Amino acid sequence: MGEIKERLISIVGADAVSAEPEELWFYARDPGVLEAHFPDFVVAPRTTEEVQKIVQLANEYKIPLVPMGNGMALTGLVIPLRGGIVLDMKRMNRILEVNEKGRYVVVEGGTSQGVLKAYLDDHYPHLRHSLPDAPPTTTIAANVALHGQGRLTQQYGFNSDMVTGLEVVLPTGEICLIGSPSLGPYWFSKGPALPDLSGLFLGWLGTTGIITKVGLRLYPNKRIRDVEIFVTDRPELIPDILFDLTHLEMLEDITVWFQPKPLMFLGNYHITVFFTGDTEEEVTWKKRMIWDTLETYMKTKDGGFMNVDPMKSQLIQMPQRGVAEFADVPRGGGFEYSGPIVPIEHYPKYAAKVLELAEKYDVLYASAARLISGGHAMMFSISFAFNRNDAGMMKRVKEALEEATNFALEMGGIPWKPNFVEQKMILKQMHPETKKLLMAVKKLLDPNGIMNPGNWEEN
């Protein structure tokens, strides 16, 4: 191990390699409920070339490599299940290019969501990216590597759909450009009209390479954002309401949430509708369209709009700091969620399942679903908060989440950012030929099995 450490230091410098107990303890875990596994080293590269040399070294010694952003997936995707090297990518954080007219940005993979947002606000206030409601420390590469979502997902799809090119260090050490940057200096397409090779890396949870640069679409940043919340106590109506709303084809973001605390929210389902405009007239018109669309439900007294004024500033905040606050509801510093991608018509069944699981496992719940691509699917989050000092509660949350994932698979849903146990459940259910293809691709790209081992493995 001493030799490996010396060679790592020769690549990145002594201040970018640690085998100290403190770093090993910290980088062995994430904020979720999964057990820790200690790495042998934590390394923080600053350049693609450094990453390349680390990968070559890892191949030489057959030592695992686990790329990490901020480690906030909560599902243990950066826990080094078989030890090895955790690569903290956050020092690779430069914003390299903004193509204003082409509306895309090129960043290093470790760039944080918050820094990109602030940069665009400062220099290109008329442009924005699809900011997740995860904490602003989360990184661009990690987000697309797990098919993350953001504020523009309802309009434009998963954040990984917004990728316009990649630079990847392959598990065998080659530096590979994906999409239009492989042909010239422009980062406007991740694939089309070529075969879309980005699919070899997006969604693979760091098992097929290390994303070192990302091109990302930017979108118009309208001057005004506004929000309405429609409330109903009949979850069975939600698919119809969402269908009606998405027919408008003009809404920024739609989320559906329910939670028992504070008590004013108990028993109701809240549909938050975000919309934007460049003029007051445009926003007022959109607001009227939303109200007109849902008038039927108001007439039948099945729902109504709540007064959002007292919480408007919190709702239109980006990212929403309140999301992280859920972790402190049981005064215990943690929450974790299962977030399957599901058909919208299944919303009532998932909502019922949340309540059933919360009661069965005696855990505090919250759920927030987000529409994807104009309503073709939704991410349905089943979130449970826990007290980190209560091992029993953490165990119950873990079991509840496993049952939630089983339920999602039974219902034909796709677990989002699944942990290594859930990945095995997915593989078990997957069509055998699909699974065979997936495993063959993985083996082809990573013949030594060094990339984030333990993930996307059957056994």
The residues binding other proteins (CB under 8 A) are 15, 18, 20-23, 25-27, 31, 42, 44, 70-72, 88, 90-91, 112-115, 117-119, 121-122, 135-138, 321-322, 324-325, 327-328, 331-335, 387-389
Structure token digits, residue 107: 């960043």
Beta strand 104-108 with 210-217 is antiparallel
CA separation for the pair 50, 65 (Å, rounded): 14
CA separation for the pair 133, 75 (Å, rounded): 17
CB nearer other proteins, residue 199 or residue 332: 332
CA separation for the pair 333, 65 (Å, rounded): 28
Residue with tokens 């859920």: 326
Q: Tell the smallest beta-carbon distance from residue 117 to other proteins (Å).
A: 6
Q: Tell the smallest beta-carbon distance from residue 333 to other proteins (Å).
A: 4
Q: Tell the smallest beta-carbon distance from residue 90 to other proteins (Å).
A: 7
Reported as type and span, the H/E element at residue 113 is: helix 113-123
Rounded to a whole number, what is the largest CA-CA distance in the chain?
74
Q: Tell the smallest beta-carbon distance from residue 388 to other proteins (Å).
A: 4
CB nearer other proteins, residue 245 or residue 327: 327
Q: Is 76 exposed, middle or buried (0-12, 13-18, 19+ CB in 10 A)?
A: buried
CB nearer other proteins, residue 123 or residue 360: 123
Q: Which residues contact 178 (CB under 8 A, 6 or more apart)?
A: 165, 166, 167, 168, 190, 191, 197, 198, 200, 201
Q: Tell the smallest beta-carbon distance from residue 105 to other proteins (Å).
A: 16
Three-state DSSP class for residue 27? coil
CB 92 within 8 A of CB 54: no
**Cα four-point dihedral sign 216, 221, 226, 228:** negative
CA separation for the pair 177, 204 (Å, rounded): 17
CB 102 within 8 A of CB 84: no
Q: Tell the smallest beta-carbon distance from residue 132 to other proteins (Å).
A: 12
Q: Tell the smallest beta-carbon distance from residue 44 to other proteins (Å).
A: 6
Q: Tell the smallest beta-carbon distance from residue 372 to other proteins (Å).
A: 24
CB nearer other proteins, residue 136 or residue 454: 136
Strand ranges inside 192-264, DSSP E:
210-217, 219-220, 224-232, 253-258
Q: Tell the smallest beta-carbon distance from residue 93 to other proteins (Å).
A: 9
CB nearer other proteins, residue 335 or residue 361: 335
Q: Virtual CA dihedral for 434, 435, 441, 446, nearest 10 degrees?
A: 170
Q: What residues are paired with 39 via a beta bridge?
A: none
Strand ranges inside 325-376, DSSP E:
333-338, 341-342, 364-372
